[in-house]
């Protein structure tokens, strides 16, 4: 004789996938996609002319950076990656598609690069950044040399960085392609507070093969106020 209890496993089987679906929907409803933006340049294309020419700025921002942004959005759309911040994405980048690494890195790196440049830039940093630089490099000149060396010895395309490590100390490094110090693939991880693009597209029109001349001219447009702001933010988030 058939017991009515034989229906219980059948009912369970029917309900389990349904309850899973409900849980998943709730998870999605709770989260808000991270808002990635292609921000306007904070100055005119010709504003940095003393160090970077107008045409380079136009091509670099409006074609190279825009392409990274568009391809990054394409790479994450329709995936759960849209919910992650840059920090969350980069901390597990070794497990993600290479298009996310290249284009997500490309977007983040250029956005940070534009922000640390200014027509009113140059000179020397002040406040806590100056102290931290002196602590790690003994002097501002030694830091500049270490940073230029990092950029000059990067074979092919990449970036030079000044970053804060987990102990709150500053260090200089360089990464290939569009990698950055937030990624779990780099040797020394940290939060970048200053970055310099040393891809040829960043300097070739004016400086041709003279990467060192471009790096030296970079110091005249560094927005130390923004670097200080990034330093303080990184320190708070340690
Ligand atoms: Mn670039």
Is residue 183 exposed (0-12), middle (13-18) or buried (19+ Cβ within 10 Å)? buried
**3-state SS of 167-235?**
CCCEEEEEEECCCCCCCCCCCCCCEEEEEEECCHHHCHHHHCCCHHHHHHHHHHHECHHHHHHHHHHHH
The domain limits of the chain are 51-238
User: How many Å lie between the centroid of ligand 1 and the Cα of residue 73?
Assistant: 18
User: How many Å lie between the centroid of ligand 1 and the Cα of residue 159?
Assistant: 9
Distance separating alpha carbons of residues 17 and 22, to the nearest angstrom:
9
Q: Would you say residue 66 has pLDDT above 90?
A: yes
Q: What residues does the ion ligand 1 have nearby, CB within 5 Å?
A: 197, 199
Is residue 15 exposed (0-12), middle (13-18) or buried (19+ Cβ within 10 Å)? exposed
Q: Using one digit for the tens of pLDDT, what is the confidence trace for 1-17?
A: 455 656 555 555 555 55
Taking the complete model, does pTM exceed 0.85, yes or no?
yes
Q: Using one digit for the tens of pLDDT, what is the confidence trace for 143-189?
A: 999 999 999 999 999 999 999 999 999 999 999 999 999 999 999 99
User: How many Å lie between the centroid of ligand 1 and the Cα of residue 98?
Assistant: 18
The DSSP result for 64-87, as a single string, is IIHHHHHHHHHHHTTSGGGG--HH
State the pLDDT at residue 31.
77
User: How many Å lie between the centroid of ligand 1 and the Cα of residue 77?
Assistant: 23
Q: Which CATH architecture has domain 51-238?
A: 3-Layer(bab) Sandwich (3.55)
């Amino acid at each position: 004789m058939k017991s009515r209890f034989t229906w219980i496993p059948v009912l369970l089987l029917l309900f389990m996938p349904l309850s899973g679906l409900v849980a998943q929907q709730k998870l999605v409803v709770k989260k808000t996609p991270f808002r990635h933006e292609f921000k306007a340049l904070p100055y005119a294309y010709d504003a940095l002319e003393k160090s970077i020419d107008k045409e380079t700025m136009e091509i670099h921002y409006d074609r190279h950076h825009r392409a990274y942004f568009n391809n990054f959005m394409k790479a994450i759309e329709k995936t759960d990656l849209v919910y992650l911040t840059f920090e969350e994405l980069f901390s597990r980048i070794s497990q993600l598609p290479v298009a996310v690494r290249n284009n997500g890195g490309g977007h983040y790196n250029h956005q940070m690069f534009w922000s640390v440049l200014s027509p009113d830039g140059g000179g020397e940093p002040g406040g806590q950044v100056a102290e931290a630089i002196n602590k790690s490099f003994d002097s501002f000149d030694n830091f500049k040399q270490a940073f230029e060396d990092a950029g000059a010895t990067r074979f092919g395309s990449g970036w030079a960085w000044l970053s804060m490590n987990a102990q709150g100390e500053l260090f200089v490094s360089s990464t290939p392609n569009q990698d950055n110090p937030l990624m779990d693939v780099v040797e020394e991880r940290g939060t970048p507070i200053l970055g310099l693009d040393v891809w040829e597209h960043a300097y070739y029109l004016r400086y041709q093969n003279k990467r060192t001349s471009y790096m030296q001219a970079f110091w005249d447009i560094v927005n130390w106020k923004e670097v200080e702001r990034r330093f303080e933010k990184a320190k708070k988030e340690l």
